[in-house]
Structure 1
Amino acid sequence: MDCKHVIVPTDFSETADRALEYARALFRSDTCTFHLLNTYTPAIAHSRFMATSLHGSLMEENVQTASEQGLQQIVDGLLTKNANPLHTFKTNSSFNILTEEICNISDINNLHLVVTGTTGASGLQEVFLGSNTVRILKSAQECPVLTIPPEASFAPPKQIAFITDYKRNFNATVLQPLLDIASAYGSKIRVMHIKEEQELNKYQESNKSILSEYLSPLSHTIHEMPYYGSKAKVIQHFLEDMEIDIVSLVHYKHGFLEELLREPVIKKVIFHTNIPLLVLPE
């Protein structure tokens, strides 16, 4: 069986630790290499007051040491407690921007998934998804991303929602991470479409048929939901009614996810649930 490669960014917060635990549990039966990633950049607010470049260099060395030691402590803990012989860990400490380093790692490895917590060490619960998570979703166009809310705990996903407007076509590569999870756990996929129009046009009908073909080996159902002003609220009600364990969608440029991101109510609704969000790249 091929080894999966999963990137787990960490800022050493409890939220990041939870995301890692979720990832390990999700892939507990898979041969998997987890790339634990911590990136750091100079604190501009402080470095501008440094008297010499030497001070700046020392600061960078101290941050690098703390980063490397923090990552190694995580690995040491994983290897001494609840170790899984199918799992290996690599540490990546980098003086770089987070999203760029994720792309660097994914270029070298056959990346399966990025798993990230939705808030970081700042603990700001009202920060939408966490600024780093939003950057990852927007910039990692070729990386599937699974975001883990702070209060989420792993349970085998019995119900997976797939939200779509049928306005773009589908292919096996895009859907593969979703299909893999559903296949591994015997999950039921609940396809949800918010009905803004009276009828689907021919292109949407074609995309709907193509999607059904890809999902045909798996248990799945199609759901048409009425639109009543807020897509986020429609989604929230659907997730609750269907007892969804993971919600998924495809991230198209100028597509459904970006539309949701612009909706003010989103901060209070969908991403403040305890349901992980699987974002698939176009």
Structure 2
Amino acid sequence: MQKILIPTDFSENAWNAIDYAMQLFRDKSCTFYLLNTYTPVIPSSRFMAKMVDGVRIVDAVRDSSELGLQKTVSQIKSKYRNPKHSFETISSFNLLVEEVKDIVDSFGINLVVTGTKGASGIDEVFMGSNTVRIIKNAKKCPVLAIPQSFEYVTPSEIAFATDFNRFYTVSELSPLLEMAKMFNATIRIVHVQYGIKALSELQQFNLNMLRRYLGEVEHYVHTVSELHSVSQTLEMFSKELDIHLLALLNYQHSYMEKMTREPIIKRTAFHTQIPLLVIPELGMEGISVEVEEEEQEQATSE
């Protein structure tokens, strides 16, 4: 993970995500791309002001965005002084999710780190609407969501929630493996069941393959009964085992999709109390990449 994108709106919530990322990757050489998007109201009437004290509104908002990014970089460098970290700033007149997608593609971003903040009322989404939109649209890059009140803890206990109904590729698991190896962490594979029952042949096969991929990384399998909802079950599991990071793969019918579709009343208690690593589905694309890498390795060894 060498190229890391961090969207910021200069709030405390956004700074907490930056703070977490600086500590998480303190021993890694990284380039951090700090992004701020702005969409000023475009005057649609001759009665609406296009100028304020002779300054165009769009220009003023852009200048404020660029200045905010410069101040944020200065604040980071002043606090951490890490020679392994370099910074790029991107100020863009665009919608946040669209700009994140463009930057991931253009710069080959390895990870998006974002702060989470639950909204209120009927708009409540268990991580905040922007975070959920980024996760849903991140097709090529994992997203690490940091709760607004979470204080950094070295992730020595990582939970990976799965129902074993899907075959995972090595490419999809690589962010999880990389994180575990970086901190010599234990991986807790957690399977939420509505009524405990034996695994099917397919589930058992996928579990065996998962354990094979994890290799020498210390790992355990936990099967737990669903409590009201998947989100509350995972929250209780994380609290009881003192989990520092929860990882999920995002695909159709996955736990991640189930949680974003749960009725609001069921997920109000789950505001990602711990950091959440959401890994996108790579599918056949990931498999083709792995085959290509294996062929290259064989050619090199020959």
TM-score (norm 2): 0.84
Query: Does the CA-based 8 Å contact 2:230-2:258 persist in structure 1?
Result: no
1:161: which partner in 2? Answer: 159
Q: CA deviation at 1:127?
A: 5.2
Query: Does the CA-based 8 Å contact 1:159-1:246 persist in structure 2?
Result: yes
Q: Measure, in 2, the Cα distance between the counterparts of 1:186 and 1:127.
A: 33
Q: Measure, in 2, the Cα distance between the counterparts of 1:202 and 1:160.
A: 26
Q: Measure, in 1, the Cα distance between the counterparts of 2:269 and 2:277.
A: 16
Q: Measure, in 2, the Cα distance between the counterparts of 1:16 and 1:40.
A: 15
2:25: which partner in 1? Answer: 27
Assess, with a 3 A threshold, how the Cα gap between structure 1 residues 6 and 272 changes in structure 2: closer, same or farther. Answer: closer
2:291: which partner in 1? Answer: none
Q: Structure 1 stretch 263-272 or stretch 8-17: which is displaced more?
A: 263-272
Assess, with a 3 A threshold, how the Cα gap between structure 1 residues 63 and 208 changes in structure 2: closer, same or farther. Answer: same
Assess, with a 3 A threshold, how the Cα gap between structure 1 residues 254 and 43 changes in structure 2: closer, same or farther. Answer: farther
Query: Does the CA-based 8 Å contact 2:232-2:267 persist in structure 1?
Result: no
Q: Measure, in 2, the Cα distance between the counterparts of 1:155 and 1:230.
A: 27
- What is the CA deviation profile of residues 227-262 of structure 1, one whole-angstrom value per residue up to 9, with x for unaligned ones? 344222221221111110001100103432111112
2:268: which partner in 1? Answer: 268
Aligned residue for 1:81, secondary structure, equals helix
1:68: which partner in 2? Answer: 66
Q: Structure 1 stretch 226-235 or stretch 146-155: which is displaced more?
A: 226-235
1:191: which partner in 2? Answer: 189
Q: Measure, in 1, the Cα distance between the counterparts of 2:266 and 2:112.
A: 22
Assess, with a 3 A threshold, how the Cα gap between structure 1 residues 50 and 225 changes in structure 2: closer, same or farther. Answer: farther
Q: CA deviation at 1:63?
A: 0.8
Aligned residue for 2:56, secondary structure, equals helix
Gaps of 5+ in 1: none
- What is the CA deviation profile of residues 99-133 of structure 1, one whole-angstrom value per residue up to 9, with x for unaligned ones? 1211221112232210000029x899965312211
Of 71, 85, 88, 2:86 maps to 88
Give 1:60-209 correspondences, 5 Å limit: 60-119=58-117, 128-196=126-194, 198-209=197-208
Q: CA deviation at 1:168?
A: 1.3
Q: Percent of aligned positions with the same letter in both sequences? A: 40
Assess, with a 3 A threshold, how the Cα gap between structure 1 residues 118 and 195 changes in structure 2: closer, same or farther. Answer: same
Q: CA deviation at 1:82?
A: 2.1
Counterpart residue type for residue 24 of structure 1 = M
Query: Does the CA-based 8 Å contact 1:126-1:267 persist in structure 2?
Result: no
Aligned residue for 1:270, secondary structure, equals coil
Aligned residue for 2:110, secondary structure, equals strand
Q: Measure, in 2, the Cα distance between the counterparts of 1:201 and 1:231.
A: 20
CA RMSD of aligned residues (A): 2.4
Q: Structure 1 stretch 141-150 or stretch 201-210: which is displaced more?
A: 201-210
Which one has the largest radius of gyration? Answer: 2
Q: Measure, in 2, the Cα distance between the counterparts of 1:175 and 1:167.
A: 15
2:238: which partner in 1? Answer: 239
Aligned residue for 2:213, secondary structure, equals helix
Q: Measure, in 1, the Cα distance between the counterparts of 2:35 and 2:76.
A: 15
Query: Does the CA-based 8 Å contact 1:247-1:277 persist in structure 2?
Result: yes
Query: Does the CA-based 8 Å contact 1:112-1:177 persist in structure 2?
Result: no
Aligned residue for 2:180, secondary structure, equals helix
Q: Structure 1 stretch 216-225 or stretch 248-257: which is displaced more?
A: 248-257
2:16: which partner in 1? Answer: 18
Aligned residue for 1:271, secondary structure, equals coil
Gaps of 5+ in 2: 282-302
Assess, with a 3 A threshold, how the Cα gap between structure 1 residues 61 and 205 changes in structure 2: closer, same or farther. Answer: same
After TM superposition, the runs of 4+ consecutive aligned structure 1 residues lying more than 6 A away are: 122-125
2:213: which partner in 1? Answer: 214
- What is the CA deviation profile of residues 202-223 of structure 1, one whole-angstrom value per residue up to 9, with x for unaligned ones? 2222211111111122010001
TM-score (norm 1): 0.90
Q: Measure, in 2, the Cα distance between the counterparts of 1:229 and 1:99.
A: 31
Q: Measure, in 1, the Cα distance between the counterparts of 2:120 and 2:66.
A: 23
Counterpart residue type for residue 102 of structure 1 = V
